[in-house]
Amino acid sequence: MKKVLFVGNSHLGAIRRGWSETPAAWDGWEADFFALPSTHFLSAELHGDGLFGVGHLGMSAKPAKKWAQRINEKTDVSYQGADLIVHVGANLMANQIFPILSKYSIDGFLESGATKRMSKDAFETFCIAVAKSNSEFGGWDSTETPQIIAPKPRHIETALDQFDRFMYDDNLRDLCKKSDLLSRVYDLFEDIYERQAQAAAWKFVRQPANTITELGLTAPKYASGAKILVGDDTAQSDFGHMNSEYGGQMLNAIYAAMSEHISNSSVTAA
């Protein structure tokens, strides 16, 4: 029996729930999960004899330990013996460039009517810097286990109208509703993250195309009935957390990526 370890933030909830409906391709694999809300997940570390978590931290990490125990019934997880480690919920940071999109026309990328202009090379350099500011590939180079990283879902399409914090500018909102701008922005950031993953000898898994609308956001059906990490409370109001159906789609994509990635490592799939 092969073992896959999933670690991540609150977006791991959809994957964990989707595992109960796993495709036949995952037969012969057993899964372990370790999740924390984003603010606490950032404090989790590799430590001790092959452990990842917060159990070794001091009193300042008491809330993180409490959440870890509540969600996982443990404060740490062992990654020893894992044949694959999957990191779930990477923030592509694409929304951080929305202020640029609202103020500039970008050569060869966006004609918004803005009087300020930016070259495409400068824009892409800025996007790379934004993405690198949230690099999530460090700290795990002490293990030779194959690593896969999966992004947090794009917001659902209805966020354009109902989630004010998703957009900085009404003109930008209107432009996104009438064009493929968001699709191209997210594709650009996925390209950047894919290159970063390759440089770290990891594999980046893109959000499945069949979960994405023509506007470049997640289809609303994948948020219907979404749950938080623990309990039965819904997570629909934030427009960013998805349900078990979405989790199943991501598991399909992860398996396809794993089949290629793991064959190029010292570990071979059964």
pLDDT of 80-101, one tens digit each?
999 999 999 999 999 889 889 9
The confidence score (pLDDT) of residue 269 equals: 42
Greater confidence (126 vs 135) lies with: 126
Q: Return d(Cα 135, Cα 183) in angstroms, integer.
A: 22
240 in Cβ contact with 152 (< 8 Å):
yes
Domains delineated in the chain: 2-263 (3.40.50)
CA distances from 39 to 43, 68, 69, 131, 203 (A): 8, 12, 15, 19, 25
* Mean pLDDT comparison of 17-21, 143-147, 201-205, highest-scoring range: 201-205
Q: Return d(Cα 82, Cα 186) in angstroms, integer.
A: 31
How does pLDDT run across 43-92, given as a tens digit for each residue? 999 998 899 999 999 999 999 999 999 999 999 999 999 999 999 999 99
If you average pLDDT over every residue of the chain, what do you get? Answer: 88
| Mean pLDDT of all residues in 104-109 | 94
pTM more than 0.75:
yes
Tokens 């059964």 correspond to: 270
CA distances from 24 to 28, 29, 67, 251 (A): 9, 10, 32, 11
5 in Cβ contact with 79 (< 8 Å):
yes
Evaluated on CA atoms 192, 258, 152, 171, the torsion sign reads positive
Return the H-helix or E-strand segment holding 118: strand 116-118
Please determine, for residue 267, whether its predicted confidence score (pLDDT) is greater than 50.
no
The residues near 171 (Cβ < 8 Å, ≥ 6 apart) are: 102, 112
CA distances from 168 to 104, 138, 180, 239 (A): 13, 31, 18, 16
The confidence score (pLDDT) of residue 268 equals: 44
Please determine, for residue 171, whether its predicted confidence score (pLDDT) is greater than 90.
no
Query: Which of 59, 16, 2, 6 lies closest to 248 in space, CA to CA?
Result: 16
